[in-house]
């Protein structure tokens, strides 16, 4: 145990995108004494390493729009000292809507535009001309966001972690947080399977476990409900154009995009 940090200023639970990006940005702002704990032997073993890699900026929560916009801008121009190449293929997105859902999507698009995100509202015919694969699809209209795209999630996550480590962050894999230590109503550290670690600030970036971690800290339960989501990848299909944008059909709750010569499809939750 000699040399292992038993106290730190910032302790982050979880090395997915939330934890890795928090560690990276803390280190970049000069924070010292940052420890990132990950229960698995590798980073990205859960959602952050197994998602559809789509960068979508039009979202329903207005408060998140500046974040989605800034996130996409960050990917477009990674810092000069970013440690590895991260491909971000900006092929755009088509968000399909019908009925009440279409009215909501249009409101979201206007909110996104106000936040400075480039969006266009297209009638069905224009979307079908742009992506003939939609010719038999059932929708009323489309939100086109040309600056959306698909990112290499593994390179991105690795980049956050490499940068954080080279700025002094310690990442400890295979170390599980078992209990949040609370004294006088304040979080003062955690108990891990390697012992107790005291911390001034504990960041809950535990993904699907975040609700349980919050509860351990005695926090009012956040309305977090983990959902299992499945991705399907087809064999190569001759009619798929690799340059298609990703298509998110809001009315039917599914999305797809070109992948490995075929399609990656997801029926959402």
CA dihedral 16, 22, 23, 29 (to 10 degrees): 160
When binding is defined by CB under 6 A, the residue of 8, 11, 18, 187 that contacts ligand FAD is 18
Judged by beta carbon, residue 129 or residue 201, the one nearer ligand FAD is: 201
Tell whether residue 16 is a contact of ligand FAD (CB under 6 A): yes
Distance of alpha carbon 235 from the chain centroid: 26
Judged by beta carbon, residue 74 or residue 140, the one nearer ligand FAD is: 74
Residues comprising the chain, all counted? 269
H or E stretch at 214: helix 210-216
Q: How far is the CB of 209 from ligand FAD (least distance, A)?
A: 4
Contact 214, 223 (CB under 8 A): no
All residues at 6 or more sequence positions from 179 whose CB lies less than 8 Å from its CB, including other chains:
190, 191, 216
Report the chain's terminal Cα–Cα distance, integer Å.
Answer: 43
When CB distances to ligand FAD are compared, the closest residue is 16
* Span 152-181, contacts to ligand FAD by CB under 6 A: 176-177
* Span 186-225, contacts to ligand FAD by CB under 6 A: 205-209
CA dihedral 108, 75, 247, 132 (to 10 degrees): 120
85 is written with which tokens? 């190449």
Q: How far is the CB of 55 from ligand FAD (least distance, A)?
A: 7
Print the binding letters for residues 47-66 with ligand FAD: x by CB under 6 A, - otherwise.
Answer: xx-xxxxx------------
Q: How far apart are CA 56 and CA 59, in angstroms?
A: 7
Tell whether residue 15 is a contact of ligand FAD (CB under 6 A): yes
The count of residues interacting with ligand FAD (CB under 6 A) is: 29
Q: How far is the CB of 194 from ligand FAD (least distance, A)?
A: 11
Print the binding letters for residues 64-103 with ligand FAD: x by CB under 6 A, - otherwise.
Answer: ----------------------------------------
Task: Supply φ then ψ for residue 146, to 5 degrees.
Answer: -70, -20
Task: Write out the residues near ligand FAD by the rule CB under 6 A.
Answer: 13-19, 37-40, 45-48, 50-54, 176-177, 205-209, 229, 231
């Amino acid at each position: 145990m000699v040399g292992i940090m038993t106290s730190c200023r910032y302790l982050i639970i979880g090395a997915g995108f939330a934890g890795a990006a928090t560690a990276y940005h803390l280190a970049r702002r000069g924070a010292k004494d940052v420890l990132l704990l990950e229960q698995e032997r590798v980073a990205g073993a859960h959602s952050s390493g197994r998602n559809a890699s789509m960068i979508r900026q039009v979202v329903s929560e207005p408060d998140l729009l500046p974040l989605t916009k800034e996130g996409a801008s960050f990917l477009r121009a990674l810092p000069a000292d970013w440690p590895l190449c991260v491909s971000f293929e900006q092929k755009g997105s088509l968000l399909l809507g019908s009925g009440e859902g279409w009215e909501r999507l249009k409101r979201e698009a206007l909110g996104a535009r106000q936040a400075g995100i480039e969006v266009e509202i297209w009638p069905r015919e224009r979307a079908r001309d742009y992506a003939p694969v939609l010719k038999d699809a059932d929708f009323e209209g489309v939100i086109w966001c040309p600056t959306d795209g698909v990112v290499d999630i593994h390179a991105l996550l690795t980049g956050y972690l490499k940068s954080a480590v080279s700025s002094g962050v310690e990442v400890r894999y295979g170390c599980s947080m078992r209990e949040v230590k609370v004294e006088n109503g304040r979080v003062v550290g955690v108990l891990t399977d390697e012992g107790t670690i005291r911390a001034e600030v504990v960041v809950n970036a535990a993904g699907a476990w975040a609700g349980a971690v919050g509860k351990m800290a005695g926090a009012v339960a956040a309305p977090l409900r983990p959902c299992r989501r499945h991705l399907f990848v087809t064999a190569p299909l001759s009619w798929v154009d690799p340059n298609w944008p990703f298509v998110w059909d809001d009315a039917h709750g599914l999305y797809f995009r070109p992948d490995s010569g075929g399609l990656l499809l997801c029926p959402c939750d």
